[in-house]
Amino acid sequence: MGMSTARLPDRLEVRQVDDYRWLIPRQGPMNVDGLVFADRRLMDEIRDDPSLRQVANVACLPGIVGRSIGMPDIHWGYGFAIGGVAAFDPELGGVISPGGVGYDINCGVRLLRTDVSYDELKPRLSRLMDRIERDVPAGVGEGYESAEKTLSTADVRAVLERGAEWAVERGLGIPDDLAHIEAGGRLSSAEPDRVSGRAVERGRAQLGTVGSGNHFIELGCVREIHHQKAAAALGLELGSIAVLIHSGSRGLGHQVCTETLDVMLDAAARYGIDLPDRQLACAPLDSPEGRDYLGAMAAAANFAFANRQVMSQRVREAFASVLDRPWVDLGITLVYDVAHNNAKWETHRVGSEERRLCVHRKGATRAFPPGHPEVPEAYRDIGQPVLIPGDMGRYSYVLVGTERAYAETFGSTCHGAGRRMSRRQAKKSVRGRDLEREFAQRGIEVRSASRATVAEEVPEAYKDVADVVGVVDAAGIGDRVARLDPVGVLKG
Amino acid sequence: MGGLPEGVRELDHTADLGIEIVAPDAGALFDRAARALRALAVDEGDAAPEGGGAAGAAHAVDGSFTAWPEPPVAGGAGLHTLELEASDAAVLLVRWLSELLYRIDTLGLAYQSAELAVEGGRLHARIRETRLPEAGAHIKAVTYHGLECGPLPDGSWGARVIFDV
């Protein structure tokens, strides 16, 4: 069952299919075609980095079905590109790869809507951001000294088992929140015993924290509505404030990934899987190594769901305190919480057959169509909400999933803007500029644990997310609903 | 952040951070990699003065990946012995740096220097660490992506490793 030792050609063949689709036909050891969504301009940027080759590498892995897919925000990642989707069939020797999920297991985004208008909030925006900064730790090393935020071992186990449910049981949110989270905020396949003591230690003090890098809490104002019916169903009104929270499983997920890669490097050799890049380390889905990772990954995913749940409750309380009204009266409800780094068992049509597949999404968002049973009741007519953050200066988008995505991309779409500058280049490019003032002039209150993070995350370091969303909308693998413009941002 | 040690150069990658290292031998390479990790992961201005190694490691971590411990007790600076094994020098380098990163990120203990023996995929180290004012790291993981490590034609050692930030 091992992969052939044949290599991909030095120059990959890439063929334009239509305005938004590019095919990497099967060549060398590829088991399936690659398919990348982009317009010509984005493709020019994508060609500059190794991500197309990474799409082809993934197409070489055992048991992959359909196509190895790249989204328009695709960019270089470890092993798998960021912005990739790949589905594996256990009956064809399909594999699970921690590198196809990413270090930050179940990293994702949640969106809260409010009845608060921007005009109403504006005079108190600065105070609200101060309050959020105080109550939701961000950055590196946060919370370590705070006993209150350090969970007991029994608590960690409960979080790993029950995810967002754990938080709601503790009064951090309401039961209705759970109906608006992917998988109800809990993956029942979680096996906390597969999570190491070290991973637990790394995560113990980090529940309810933003972290660093590209993670954030953002207050946005709904500035454009593209799809009236869907916007109404999601409770998004022009001029109102909504909150985006982007974070994941923090150090716990990183530790699970680090340790599993170690195990899977040996496993891949044992199962005769030839790896073009060690970071593609994987094991068959039905092997002990594969099953162990699936259990640990689901547990880490639950930690991420709980993490976002705790943070959103802190944000609700901050609104209540600063606006001096109970958060329920401010209409702060959860629109949706969706992940963009995971691997899930799903049923999809391959050829003429329904198959049970393990779908890896690394930097890609699930985007199920209207009518799908996993779409919350309230959104059954419009499709699953998809949350696409942009950079911290421009805008973010809300989309819904489509039939076409279900048929073409295993029900997946893009996840963000994608970087176009390295962190180092970004820091260099902003030298001598007063970023705080620039953001203030744009009407954005920025709070950050580290100035360096803001420099690394400066808007021009990213592609314009409107271009990325424009491609998925035009290609039919996501339906644009609304645009949010940031007015307050908390970064790590 | 402190400067990078001799023989270490920062690479420029779109999303992340990588280094290239050259050193006279394997032991020196693993030492330089460890110092570079510290320089990149920790705000060096924060480092506490030398602890003198007297505090003792209150929270021993022996490389066990299975037991679920009680909450960690903040450890003091001191000497710490580590043995690692891997299929080759490159995988050994990732294991080594992952181990040190874990200690920075979770225990607040940062590599200072070590007596190091590296041979045939095995590492033995007596590590001197300093206590940081708080645990936490600007690097989140040590990846296998594009990893290289081994002897160069002239007999010195070279490596390339990429970090997730």
- Give the pLDDT confidence of A372-409 residue by residue, as tens digits: 999 999 999 999 999 999 999 999 999 999 999 999 99
Nearest to B144 among A82, A157, A261 (CB): A261
Which residues in chain B touch residue A144, judged by CB atoms under 8 angstroms apart? 108, 134-136
Q: Chain B residue closest to A51 (CA)?
A: B14
> Confidence class of residue B69 from pLDDT cuts 50, 70 and 90?
low
Contact A258 B135 (CB under 8 A): no
Distances (CA, A) of A115 to A229, A236, A319, A444, A475: 18, 9, 11, 20, 33
Predicted confidence (pLDDT) at residue B121 exceeds the cutoff of 50? yes
Q: What does the angle CA A30 – CA A36 – CA A41 come to, to the nearest 5 degrees?
A: 135
A120-130: average pLDDT: 98
Percent of chain B with pLDDT over 90: 65
Interface test with A, best of B38, B65, B105, B140 (most A CBs within 10 A): B140
Restricting to B residues 29-48, those with a Cβ less than 8 Å away from any Cβ of A are none
How confident is residue A219, by pLDDT bands cut at 50, 70 and 90?
A: very high
Q: Contacts of residue B66 in chain A, CB cutoff 8 Å?
A: 196-197
Compute how many other C-beta atoms are within 10 angstroms of the C-beta atom of residue B9: 12
3-class DSSP state of A41: helix
B69 closest CB neighbour out of A142, A201, A419: A201
Mean pLDDT for A122-150 is 79
Residue A211 and residue A144 in contact, taking contact as beta carbons nearer than 8 Å? no
DSSP class of residue A93 equals: T
CB-nearest to A423 from B17, B94, B95 is: B17
Amino acid type, A317: E
Phi-psi map region of B136: left, alpha, beta (phi>0 left; psi -120 to 50 alpha): left
Nearest chain B alpha carbon to A424:
B12
Q: Which residue of A has its CA nearest to B68?
A: A197
Residue A317 CB neighbours (<10 A):
17
Tokens representing A323 are: 């606006």
Q: What percent of chain A has a predicted confidence (pLDDT) above 70?
A: 97
ipTM over 0.95: no
> Coil, strand or helix: which one is B43?
coil
> Amino acid identity of A206?
Q
Q: pLDDT tens for residues A295-317?
A: 999 999 999 999 999 999 999 99
Is B11 in the A-facing interface, judged by CB distances under 8 Å?
Answer: no
Q: Is A189 on the interface with B (CB under 8 A)?
A: no
Is B142 an interface residue toward A (CB < 8 Å)? yes
Give the CATH number of the domain where residue B105 resides.
3.55.10.10
Domain boundaries, given as residue ranges, for chain A: 108-256+287-337+371-491
> Which residues fall within 8 angstroms of residue A404, CB to CB, at 6 or more apart?
A475, A476, A477
Looking at residue A145, its pLDDT comes to 38
Do A150 and B106 touch, CB atoms closer than 8 A? no
Domain A108-256+287-337+371-491 CATH superfamily: tRNA-splicing ligase RtcB (3.90.1860.10)
- Provide, as residue numbers in chain A, all residues whose Cβ is less than 8 Å from the Cβ of B136: 139-142, 144
Gap from B12 CA to chain A (nearest CA, Å): 7
Is the predicted pLDDT of residue A144 greater than 50, yes or no?
A: no
Q: Which of A228-237, A347-356, A471-480, B40-49 has the lowest mean pLDDT?
A: B40-49
Q: Whole-angstrom Cα distance, residue B106 to residue B59?
A: 11
Structure tokens at A32: 């399936």
Cβ contact (<8 Å) for B137 and A82? no
Which of chain B's residues have a Cβ under 8 Å away from the Cβ of A205?
135
- Range from A199-203, B70-74, B129-133, B158-162 carrying the lowest mean pLDDT: B70-74
Label residue A31 by pLDDT band (50, 70, 90): very high
Residue B106 in contact with partner chain A when CB distance is under 8 A? yes
Using CA atoms, how far apart are residues A189 and A292, in angstroms rounded to an integer? 11
Q: CB-based contact (8 Å) between A263 and chain B?
A: no
Instruction: Please judge whether A76 and B17 are an interchain contact, meaning their C-beta atoms are less than 8 angstroms apart.
Output: no
Structural domain contains residue B2 = no
Residues 49-108 of A with CB under 8 A from B: 49, 75-79, 82, 103-104
Q: Residue B82: give the domain boundaries.
A: 8-50+78-164
Q: Which two tokens stand for residue A415?
A: 């996840």
A461 touches A391 (CB < 8 A): yes
Q: How many CB pairs under 8 A join A and B?
A: 123
Could you give the dihedral angle defined by the CA atoms of residues A344, A350, A353 and A358, in that order, rounded to the nearest 10 degrees? -20
- Can you tell me whether residue A436 is helix, strand or coil? helix
Q: What is the DSSP string of B19-58?
A: EEEEESSHHHHHHHHHHHHHHHHS-GGGPPPP-TT-S--S
Q: Contact A478/A469 with Cβ under 8 angstroms?
A: yes
d(CA A123, CA A345): 47
Is the residue at B66 inside a domain? no
- Location of structure tokens 């790949």: A86
Ranges A185-189, B70-74, B112-116: which has the least confidence: B70-74
By the 8 A CB rule, do A86 and A304 touch? no
**Four-residue CA torsion sign, A26, A30, A35, A41:** negative
A388 in Cβ contact with A465 (< 8 Å) = yes
What is the C-alpha to C-alpha distance for residues B107 and A141, in angstroms, rounded to an integer?
A: 10
Nearest residue on chain A to B87, judged by CA atoms?
Answer: A266
Q: Best interface-test mutation with A: which of B107, B145, B160, B162 has the largest number of A CBs within 10 A?
A: B145
Query: What are residue A42's DSSP bridge partners?
Result: none
Contacts of B71 in chain A (CB under 8 A): 150, 152-153, 201, 204
CB contact under 8 A, B102 and A212: no
Window 417-456 of A: residues touching B by CB (8 A cutoff) are 419-425
Of all residues in chain A, the one with the smallest CA distance to B60 is: A198
The residue type at A163: G
Per CB-CB distance under 8 Å, the chain A contacts of B10 are 424
b (16+ CB within 10 A) / e for A192-215: bebbbbbbbbbbbbbbbbbbbbbb
pLDDT bracket for residue A143 (50, 70, 90): very low
Chain A residues close to B143, C-beta within 8 Å: 78, 279
Asked whether residue B1 carries a pLDDT value surpassing 70, the answer given is: no
Number of domains in chain B: 1
> Is the CB of B22 inside 8 Å of chain A's CB atoms?
no
Q: Catalytic site residue A254?
A: no
Per residue in A254-263, pLDDT (tens digit) is 999 999 999 9
The reply to whether residue A419 touches residue B14, judged by beta carbons under 8 angstroms, is yes
pLDDT of A58 > 90? The answer is yes
Could A197 and B87 be called an inter-chain contact, meaning their C-beta atoms sit closer than 8 Å? no
pLDDT of residue B3: 85
Give the integer Cα–Cα distance in Å for A277 and A76.
Answer: 13
Which of B65, B108, B143 lies nearest to residue A279, judging by beta carbons? B143
Write out chain A residues lying below 8 Å of B64, CB-based. Answer: 197
Q: Is residue B18 part of a domain?
A: yes
Nearest neighbour of A254 by CB, restricted to B90, B95, B140: B140
Tell me whether residues B144 and A152 touch, CB distance under 8 A.
no
In a domain, residue B57? The reply is no
Q: Chain A, 331-370: which have a CB under 8 Å from a chain B CB?
A: none
How far, in Å, CA of A400 to CA of A477, rounded? 9
A230 sits in which H/E element: helix A228-234
Tell me the pLDDT band of A450, cut-offs 50, 70 and 90.
confident
Identify whether the C-beta of residue A370 lies closer than 8 Å to the C-beta of residue A381. yes
What's residue B15's pLDDT? 61
Backbone angles phi and psi of A233, in degrees to 5: -65, -35
d(CA A95, CA A86): 10
pLDDT of residue B63 exceeding 80: no
Is position B101 within any domain?
Answer: yes
Question: Across the interface, do A144 and B14 touch by the CB < 8 Å criterion?
Answer: no
